[in-house]
Amino acid sequence: MEKCIINIKKIAVLLVFLVSFSVPVFSVEAYVSSLYREIDIAFANKSENELNSILSKNADDVNYYLLENYAMKKVRHLIIQEEYVFAMKANLVIIDNDLDNVDAVEMYSTIATALEKQKEQQALVEERKRIAAAKLETEKAKQRVSAAKDFQSVKTAEGDSVYLKDKNDKYTSTYWKVRFGMFNGDLITESDSSYDSFRYGISGDFSYEYTFDKIMVGFDAGGEAILIPFTNNDDTMLGNVYLAPKIGFLPLSKKFFGRAGVAGVITMNSTEKSVLSDTFVTPLFGLGFDHAKAGPLLFSGSVDYYLAHLAYDDMNLAMGGELNMSVPFTDMEKVRLSLNVGVKDTLFVKSSGIENRTRFILAIGAENVAK
């Protein structure tokens, strides 16, 4: 019985000792944990002032090393997340409060190197963005110039431009078109002598245009050789040539133009004199149109006045004209091919009667459609 009482006393003494020892331990852990939470808040707020306040207030505490180690752990986590700016600031706070912290000093060097590399990479990325933005603005400026040139626009209430419809039907500033007449059926008549002849010929035509902001300049050129007479072979060789520079004013019209140049209506006699007019070379002044559309069909034409008739006593008027229709049948990368049907006419109004040379033309055409 006495032994039992002695054992109970020993256990009671042991319990009193353990309780008295554990109370301060639990108190220290609670105190340090509260400071850890304050450090967490300082890092969450990215506030070096809050962190400095916590460390400086507890610099003389026996548990300061725990706070310092915890703060450095938080700094290492920032380094992993590449948040070098606040990592640097927090690390400086740790060093300021403990100059003997060798690990913090070494960490400062690591952060400084990483921060410098990050700044270099960011500068490189920003430079690339700036170059890309500059290229984009340049491209937008080119597109605005092109749109202003090729489309009609109106201003919105905010002052922005809204483009409504195509102003020019051509894809590029430079435009060319060539036609080769495989079959020309030529009907030549002269009223005074009741002369008529139907003949076969070939022809070629070329047009070139360059469009500026306000005007179009270019030229039309072509020629025809009338080779084989089917009726009324009078041994004459007939032909036509012309070269006519042209200009169009886009504010007035995008399809019409004026032109002036030289034309030659050729008549070569191998034997006796023909009832037809001799070779006739003349300045020409005329009006023309091109790029007129009706569905898939394209139309062009011109009317020219031949000034040289004034030098002939027996000629009251001389003029020429043409009308062409193109039917596109294939588009390649930069060239469109088409079938062309047209009619050309040369008219001489003479004192003794009327001479008329009409040509019905079937041709293959090509024009640029470069985008």
71, 192: one domain: no
Q: Which residues of 13-52 are buried (b: 16+ CB within 10 A; e: fewer)?
A: eeeeeeeeeeeeeeeeeeebeebbebbeebbeeebbebbb
| pTM for the full predicted model | 0.54
At 318, list the tokens: 């001389």
Q: Determine the structural domain holding residue 85 and report its residue range.
A: 2-121
Domain of 338, CATH number, reads 2.40.128.100
Burial class (CB in 10 A: 0-12, 13-18, 19+), 299: middle
74, 208: one domain: no
Q: In Å, how far are 147, 171, 335 from 370, measured between CA atoms?
A: 17, 6, 7
51, 196: one domain: no
Give percent of the chain with pLDDT exceeding 90: 42
User: What pLDDT is attached to residue 233?
Assistant: 77
Predicted confidence (pLDDT) per residue in 108-141, tens digit: 888 888 888 888 888 888 989 999 999 888 888 8
Is 326 a residue whose pLDDT tops 80?
Answer: yes
207, 116: one domain: no
Q: How many domains is the chain built from?
A: 2
Helix (H, G, I), strand (E, B) or coil at 203: strand
CA quadruple 217, 330, 223, 182: dihedral, nearest 10:
-170
User: What pLDDT is attached to residue 11?
Assistant: 60
* In a domain? residue 165: no
- Which of 98, 121, 144 terminates a domain? The answer is 121
Predicted confidence (pLDDT) per residue in 142-191, tens digit: 777 666 655 555 455 455 555 554 544 444 689 999 999 999 999 999 99
DSSP states of 17-84:
HHHHHHHHHHHHHHHHHHHHHHHHHHHHTT-HHHHHHHHHHTTTSTTHHHHHHHHHHHHHHHHHTT-H
Predicted confidence (pLDDT) per residue in 178-225, tens digit: 999 999 999 999 998 888 999 999 999 999 999 988 899 999 999 999
Give percent of the chain with pLDDT exceeding 70: 84
pLDDT class of 2 with cuts at 50, 70, 90: low
